[in-house]
Amino acid sequence: MFAQLREDIASVLQRDPAARSKLEVLTCYPGIHALILHRLAHRLWHANWRWAARLVSQFGRWHTGIEIHPGATLGRRVFIDHGMGVVIGETAEVGDDCTIYQGVTLGGTSLYRGVKRHPTLEAGVVVGAGAKVLGGFTIGAGAKIGSNAVVIKPVPAGATAVGNPAHVVDKTANKADKPDFSAYGVTRDMDDPIAKALHALLDHVADQDRRIDCLSKCLKEAGLVNNPQTDCQKPLDRDLLDRIVD
């Protein structure tokens, strides 16, 4: 138990630049207190002392602002930073070396008892402040969930998911290769069907604009049209669209 505590404290010192000493981490970090109390509650839960387990968990919530159901499984060196408002559901599993910031919910969307309703975080996942991960799916090892994201489907290992509903950001995409009207952070490879549809529509509109410009130029050069009304009066506002799709 003390070895595990030493390990927890070391992981906080490693991951929080604001942490200065072991004593400070032991006494002033609610995430550490929540882990200690959760381990006790989890043992009681599996020894079938369900009410006692819930009571310990409830005490942990009063003391730290972090609510961890005693049935939840937490790995080693899990770091809950700040912690206030964190909720971890009964069937959630949090892998080794995960980092969870304040206001995170690892929640469920189904009311069925006895089934896996809450997410699994594989090792090394980082869940940003205020993010909600809802459902019994898996967030792959080393994935990052952006602050305030609402994640409702699995995230592959190593990926970064942001937004509501969360979509995977393709950080390898080379922006220089993107067509004229691709929105930032949105690429053809992404899973999000709405982003894909918007992307296709923007490309289509950009292509049509180019063709119409070309046709107008030809007509003008041929002296067939002198009416300025044929020029595009309201060109596509790329920056605005980028911001909206982002």
Ligand X SMILES: CC(C)(COP(=O)(O)OP(=O)(O)OC[C@H]1O[C@@H](n2cnc3c(N)ncnc32)[C@H](O)[C@@H]1OP(=O)(O)O)[C@@H](O)C(=O)NCCC(=O)NCCS
Interface residues with ligand X (CB under 6 A) are 82, 101, 126, 128-129, 144, 146-148, 160, 162-163, 169, 171, 184-185
Cβ 169 to ligand X shortest distance, Å: 4
**CB-wise, 71 or 142, nearer to ligand X?**
142
- Say which amino acid occupies 7: E
Tell me 44's DSSP state.
H
Helical packing angle, 50-64 and 30-46, nearest 10°: 170
Residue type, position 162, single letter: V
In the complex, the smallest distance separating the C-beta of residue 177 from ligand X, rounded to whole angstroms, is: 14
**Smallest gap from residue 113 Cβ to ligand X (A):** 32
* Closer to ligand X by Cβ: residue 70 or 83: 83
- The SS3 call for residue 13 is helix
The 3-class secondary structure across 69-115, one letter per residue, is CCCCEECCCCEECCCCCCEECCCCEECCCCEECCCCEEECCCCCCCC
Nearer Cβ to ligand X, position 89 or 163?
A: 163
Closest alpha carbon to 30 in 8, 49, 52, 50? 8
Asked if the peptide bond before residue 119 counts as cis, ω within 30 degrees of 0, the response is no
Kindly state the tokens that stand for 71.
């049935």
CB nearer to ligand X: give 41 or 161: 161
Tell me whether residue 72 or residue 159 sits nearer to ligand X (CB atom): 159
Closest CB 176 distance from ligand X, rounded Å: 13
Nearer to ligand X, 43 or 178 (CB): 178
Bridge partners (DSSP) of residue 88 are 68, 106
Q: How far apart are CA 8 and CA 22, in angstroms?
A: 10
In the complex, the smallest distance separating the C-beta of residue 122 from ligand X, rounded to whole angstroms, is: 16
To ligand X, the closest distance from the beta carbon of 131 in angstroms equals 8
